[in-house]
Amino acid sequence: MKMVCVYCGSSVGRLADYAQGARALGQALLAQGLGLVYGGASIGLMGVLADTVLAGGGRVVGVIPLALARKEVAHAGLTELIVTASMHERKTRMAELSDGFIALPGGIGTFEELFEIWTWAQLGIHTKPVGLLNVAGYFDALITFLDHAAQEQFLKVSQRQMLLTDDAAPALLARMAAARQAASTPWLQAGQT
């Protein structure tokens, strides 16, 4: 992996732990020499994460729709800022630029981006790892629900296992790197489980 896409909130949330989790992920990306692709904003967890990576000398590519950039939320100090015409174009561009995907705490937009990129993996549109960084137990209820969906057979166990979860950024990145390596091995053919 070279570039990791991170979906996260445009708010910092109620707990200081969430911003600390974003900083920890930024530091883990730096420690492993990984660049960041994210939504391009200067606010919320997005801003905290981008500022952490930038402060450490890392590469940060923001992708933001013109409508949001006009509202002055675009981060002015990024390595690269890509302005798109629409949200759909934004998400496609972020996916193209990235070798893996992580969700930090966030709201509806974060959920939608996570589930879409996970669905794309399930459909075989990409073979890039998808992770959930469970900062301060934020995703506990979601993880329980996803396990319930698998138990009720609306989600295959293999599909559930595609979403890697951890509460520590370095461990999650290591699991994602291992999953990416496994997905790129020649003997693993599409359709095998």
> Please, which residues have CB within 8 angstroms of residue 16's CB and are 6 or more apart in sequence?
none
Give mean pLDDT, residues 5-30: 98
Please determine, for residue 148, whether its predicted confidence score (pLDDT) is greater than 90: yes
pLDDT tens digits, one per residue of 26-71: 999 999 999 999 999 999 999 999 999 999 999 999 999 999 998 8
Task: Flag whether the pTM goes above 0.85.
Answer: yes
| Backbone φ and ψ of 99, nearest 5° | -105, -5
What's residue 72's pLDDT? Answer: 72
- Distance (Å, rounded) from C-alpha 25 to C-alpha 172? 10
Domain range list for the chain: 3-174
- Distance (Å, rounded) from C-alpha 80 to C-alpha 61? 5
Residue 113's pLDDT band (cuts 50, 70, 90): very high
pLDDT tens digits, one per residue of 71-81: 879 999 999 99
Task: Give 3-174's CATH code, choosing from 3.40.50.450, 3.40.50.2300, 3.30.70.120, 2.60.40.10.
Answer: 3.40.50.450
